Amino acid sequence: MTARRGSGRVAVAWGAVLVTAVAVVGVVVPGRSEAAAGAVLGVNLASSKGAATGVGSGFLYGVSQDGAQPSDALLKPLGFNAFRGGGHVTRGWVGDGYKYGSGTRTDVNTVIGQARRFTAAPYRAQYQVILSDIYGNDGGQPSNTVYPCANGDCSNWVAFVDAVVGELQASGLPFAYDIYNEPDISVFWPGGSVNSTQYFQMWDSAFRELRRIAPDAPIVGPSFAYTPQARLGQWQTFLAHVKAAGTAPDWITNHDEGDVDDPVTVAQSLNSVLSSSGVGSRPLSANEYQPADRQTAGVTAWYLARFAQSGYTNAMRGNWVCCLSPNLTGVLTQSGGVWAATGNWWVMRSYADLTGTLVETSGQVGSTAISAAVDAGEKRAVALVGDSNGFTGGVTVKVSGLASQAWLSGGGSVKVVVDRIPEQAPLSAPQVVFNQTLNATGGSVSIPVNFQATHDAFAIYLTPGTGPAPTPTPTPTPTQQSVQIVGTGSGRCVEVPGAATANGTQAQLQDCSDAGNQRWTYTSDKQLTVSGNKCLDASDQGTSDGTAVIIWDCNGQANQQWNVNADSTVTGMQSGKCLDASGAGTANGTKIVLWSCHRGTNQQWSLRS
């Protein structure tokens, strides 16, 4: 990690300074709990919670200077609806000697070029212009920088606002203006003294000049790094001042980049302090979210699931690989010289399928969050599931209220597809881990979801079934005894070497035969038994990659329970990890271990009678 923050961005030359800011801003949530294995996450299709608006589908920088990249093929599927940018091409006003020179003009033209694409169809995104970045105070400004309204003189700052905003308004494009980014962080504002006399002079003079030359443009702010939960007094002082001065922003902006700032509770705290201050409610924008050390598919899904239920109007991902690389804040990666999707991209792609009407869910259970929407026009209901704390294990998603959506379950069944989205870069597609038609006559269905790895995310799709669901046939059932476990990659069988029966003997691959040490029974308790009373066992109840898979006296514990999955994997109930031929080996004697699931052929198995 090189840094925090120039607007949530990486700035290599300023790494030592910015890392300090990370340590200060991170709000540690003590005792944050994981969901318990076996927990039930609820979705009620009969209880509407308003329109699905894709809150969270925005970005801080992360596109090319001219706005042409990334391509529509990578951007349009994400439901992109908000963007924040403005600087980083040059040193701006400061670099031009505090006048409207070539550097500032370049930054302004960059904004206009990007906005021509993003504010038009099909995106129609809100473009928040960070004026302080165009000024040059983006975290990399020189030590002798003259900050706005130094010594009470705001004339040069007002001239900057006039020149820059005048040019932007002349373009005829719709902009929202963000006066100053993270003034409560010392790399952006002297001492981080956000509520100082100089700060309020800067704010008020910019606000009034914006109202004069762009009377219809939204003014957003204060873009504090700290939430009201972390610094309530800071927010109370700011709001008291802007109320008295008549300079309250049209939108309230803040950053949810602490560890972990929950969008639901932060929005509640913002609305509370707005009410108590007398400023009144107004649109909320989390114009940076998700900390640098939590850029995983599972955490991204958690944020989006929480944003959907938060009351924010829009939100933009913070950028820790900033700024003019078209990586969409890191959800794209370079592969073979082209930009490619990652697990994070697929999470955002799946979230874009939450269209129509949001429905009631259990919200957050432990550290696992779920949001869902139903769309009669698209003939689907979609749920997104993510976890903020590295949970592994199985949960159940219970979808009720099916009778309220006759188009979905009127035939007596629903088709359910579960996509597992691993933390992987690049990732060509999610992994389908469940694809079944379920009986819906009881008004609800229960769907198993297994977090195989600590950063998994899941998208669940329900579409109309074609009639009554078939009676499910377990694969295999206890009556299908004496099956071989055959590796797809090797063509060899899992066996107990030498027909041993001693506890602790590690399973291995071997040429298939009719020997009893290669014959397994999958019981109703999800055990794989051999030689009568021996069970396939994760040694010492291990859950880490490389844990030996052995035989042991059957004892009913979770490390002896296995899911035989539709995608040809066999996963441990306790660990969520896959039965794996070690080192992708195919030779006789290759040991069997646990490993994080990746769908390689050394993790795919068929059960053969």
* CATH fit for domain 484-608, picks 3.30.60.50, 3.40.190.10, 3.40.1180.10, 2.80.10.50: 2.80.10.50
pLDDT more than 90, % of the chain:
78
pTM of the model: 0.76
Closest CA to 126 of 208, 220, 248: 220
- pLDDT tens column, 69-127: 999 999 999 999 999 999 889 999 999 999 999 999 999 999 999 999 999 999 999 99
Quick check: 216 and 169 in contact, CB under 8 A?
Answer: no
Q: How confident is the model at residue 14 (pLDDT cuts 50, 70, 90)?
A: very low
User: Where is average pLDDT lowest: 126-130, 166-170, 430-434?
Assistant: 430-434
pLDDT tens-digit series, residues 464-485: 987 554 443 334 433 457 889 9
Sequence letter at residue 598: H
Provide the token pair at 131: 């004026």
CA distance 398 to 393: 17
pLDDT band at 579 (very low <50, low <70, confident <90, very high): very high
Query: Domain 357-464 - what CATH class?
Result: mainly beta
What is the CATH number that goes with domain 12-31+54-350? 3.20.20.80
Q: What number is the average pLDDT over the span 487-502?
A: 93
Q: Are 19 and 291 in contact (CB under 8 A)?
A: no
The mean pLDDT of the chain is 90
Distance CA 135, CA 90 (A): 10
Q: What residue ranges in 366-412 does DSSP mark as E strands?
A: 368-375, 380-387, 393-400
Of 307 and 38, more confident:
307
Q: Residue 435's beta-bridge partner residues?
A: 417
Nearest Cα to 310, choosing from 256, 349, 257, 355? 256
Sign of CA dihedral 295, 296, 298, 300: positive
Phi, psi of 340 (to 5 degrees): -135, 155
Residue 133 near residue 10, CB atoms below 8 Å: no
Sequence spans of domains, the chain: 12-31+54-350, 357-464, 484-608
DSSP state of 152: G
- Work out the pLDDT band at 359, boundaries 50, 70, 90: very high
**Segment of 118-122, 524-528, 538-542 carrying the highest mean pLDDT:** 118-122
